[in-house]
Structure 1
Amino acid sequence: MSDKRVENLNVESNTVLLTPGELKQKLPLSEAAAASVMEGRQVIKNILKGEDKRLFVVVGPCSIHDTEAAIEYGQRLKELSAKVQDTLYLVMRVYFEKPRTTVGWKGLINDPHMNDSFEIEEGLHIGRELLLNLAEAGLPLATEALDPISPQYLQDLIAWSAIGARTTESQTHREMSSGLSGAVGFKNGTDGGLTVAINALESVFHPHNFLGINEEGQCSIVKTKGNKYGHVVLRGGNGKPNYDSVNVALCEQALDKAGLNKNIMIDCSHANSNKDPALQPLVMENVTNQIIDGNKSIVGLMVESNLGWGNQKMTENPEDLQYGVSITDACIDWEATEKTLLGMHEKLKPVLATR
C-alpha cells in the first residue's frame, strides 16, 4: 500500500488510460495502411544502405493541430510525390508531440482541443485515426518520438522517426529508439555540437533492456535488438547553421572516426534557417548544389511546410485560427514547397543515378 505521507505529494491525480491494444482494436491497422508503412520503411532503409539512390524528404507541418488541413496537405503531397518519385521520396511529417524549453502547447496528443483540457486519451484516438487515413492514402509518415510510452500506440503507422535536439542526449530516448521498427534520425545538440548525436548513434545500434509498457499496457522489461538504421540530422545550433559543405565534411569525418555509416540528413529549418521560413528554400538549393558537386553522404532533408505561410499565435477560441497555418514554428507555404521540390527534382535527375 502507498503511504500518502511520503508518496506522490505533487501528483494531483492518476487516470487510467486505455491500453495500446485497446486503441488498436478500436482503430485497427488496415492492409492498405500496413502495406504503405512497410514500403516506406524499406525504401528509407534502402536509401540509407545506398541501394536506392534517391533522397528521402521529410516534409510537412511543424506540428499537426488541425486534422482537416493535414489531410488536405497529405493529398497534395501524394500528387507531388508522383511527379518527383524518380529522385525524391517524399515522407509526410506528422508531428503530434512538441518538446518545450519551458511551457507551451505540447501537441495534439497532449492537448487536442488547445484549451488546456489535456484530453490525452482523445488525442491518441485523433492522432491514430489521422495516421490511418494518411497511410491508407499511400503516404509514408514521419514523427518525433518524444514520449517513451506513445510509440506503443502509434508507431505501427510510422515509417521514420526523429529524436529531437533536446532529447538526443537522453538515455531513455536512445533505449527506446533501439527498439523502433523504422529508421531513426538523431539531431545534433541545441549547441550545434555533434558529440551527443554521434554517441546516440553508437548507443542505438546496440541492444538495450529498459522499463516500458507492453501491448496490454502492463509495466514490462523491454529487451531490444538494436536499430541498425540510425543516422544524424544536422539542424544547426546556437543561431549558427551547419548545412554548408564545410560542416557536412566535418560531420563525415566524425562519423568515419566513430566507425559509423556516413549518412547525413539536413534539417532545413531551425538554426539552419535562423527560424525564417524564407531561408528554407535557400538551404534546399545549397544542399542540391552540394550533391551536384559530388557529395555522397547527404541522404535526406527535412522541411517545415504547411498549406499557408509562416505561423500564428494561439487564440482563446481555436475556431478563430487561420486555416492551414502553423501554430508552432513558421513554415513555408505549399506553393514554395512544390516549386522548390520540383526544382530539386529537375536538377538532381541527371546526378543521382550515378551517385
Structure 2
Amino acid sequence: MNDALDTAVYAARRDRLRERLAAAGHEALLVSHAANRFYLSGFELHDPQCNETAGYLCVAANGRDALFTDARYRDAALRLWPARDLCIYGAGRFASIADFLKDRGIARLGFEPTALSFDTHAKLAEHIDLFPVPQAVEPLRLIKDADEIARMRRSAVVNHAVMARLPEVLVPGRTEAQAAWEIEKLFRELGASELAFSSIVGVDANAALPHAIPGETVIRDECLVLVDVGGRRDDYCSDQTRTVWVGNNPPERFVTLLDRVKRAQTAVLDRLRPGLSFREAYGLAREVFVREGVAERFTHSLGHGIGLETHEGPSLNPTSEGVLEPGMVVTVEPGLYYPEWGGARWEHMALITADGCETL
C-alpha cells in the first residue's frame, strides 16, 4: 500500500459532508458503513465481519467530529485521530457513544439507514434520538479526485497483468477452483493487497452464471472459460472480465457470442461522455443486442461504479437516475448467457473525462 493520504484530505472530505448536513438542518451523522468511514477518516476500510464493526465516525455540523471504536483499534485510531476526539467504548458501547456526543452538544443523531443494523439502531436509540439520513456520503464518492484516479490506474494495471497471464492459468486438467487460486496468487505477487471480490471462473455452462462460484468442473481442451476478477491496490479496487476459448478450434456459436458482446461494449465506450444518462449508457449496449435478436440474453445492468468498493454508485441500468460526470469511474460489462452451454462477458473500467472516457 502506498503512503496514507494526508489527514487534511480526510478533513476536507468531512467538511464537504458537513456542508450537506448543515444545509439539511442536521446536527450530526453517525457513519457506520465501512467504506464511508474510511473515505472520511482513513480509519479501517474493512469491518472484521458482517456482524462486527471496527467502529463509527460521527461528523458534526458544529465541527466537533468524533471517532468511536474499541480497545483493539486504539493505537490504530490514534495514528489518525486526536485523543480528545476519540471514544474507546467497552461493554456499554451505546451508552458511551451517546454520552460522548451529548457532552459535545449533540442531542439528535442521523444514521445511514442502509448500513446500521436493526439491532444496533434499537440499542443506540435507547440513549439518543436517531433519524435516517439516506445517501449522505455516497454522492461525495461518485467523483474521484486526482489521487483516487491515480490509485485506480495502478490497481487496473495489476488486473491487466493478471489477465495477460490467463493462458498459463487456464490449462486443461485444472479445475475452476484451482484456476481461481492461481489467479489470487498472481494478484498478490503483482502488487495487490487482496482480492477486490471472490474470483469468478466458469467453464462452459457455468459461464452462464454471472456470479459463478469456482468449483470442481475441469478445464478441458476446447472449452469456454469466463473469468471475472479484481484486486485491491493502494486501497482501490479493479474489476475486469474476459471470456476465452481454451484450444484452437472455437465453434461458430462462441465466436459469434463473443463478437456480439465486444461490439456492444465498443458501442458504449465510443459514446460514454459527461451528460449521458446512466440509462442511456445501458441502452447503447442493449441496442446492439436488440439488432442481433438476443436482447433477452442480456440479463444484468451494463455496469457499476467502482472505487473503495467493487460495487458502488452509479449503477448503469435501465431505471437508474442521473448522468455521467467527469471523474466518475464505471465498469462497462455487457454479457450474453445461454444456460445450456455457456455465456460471455467482457469488461473494462472507464474513467469519464471532460469530453468522453478513458479505458483504465
Structure showing greater relative contact order (alpha-carbon pairs closer than 8 Å, 6 or more residues apart): 1
Question: Over alpha carbons, which structure has the higher Rg?
Answer: 2
- In the superposition, the TM-score normalised over structure 1's length comes to 0.23
- In the superposition, the TM-score normalised over structure 2's length comes to 0.23
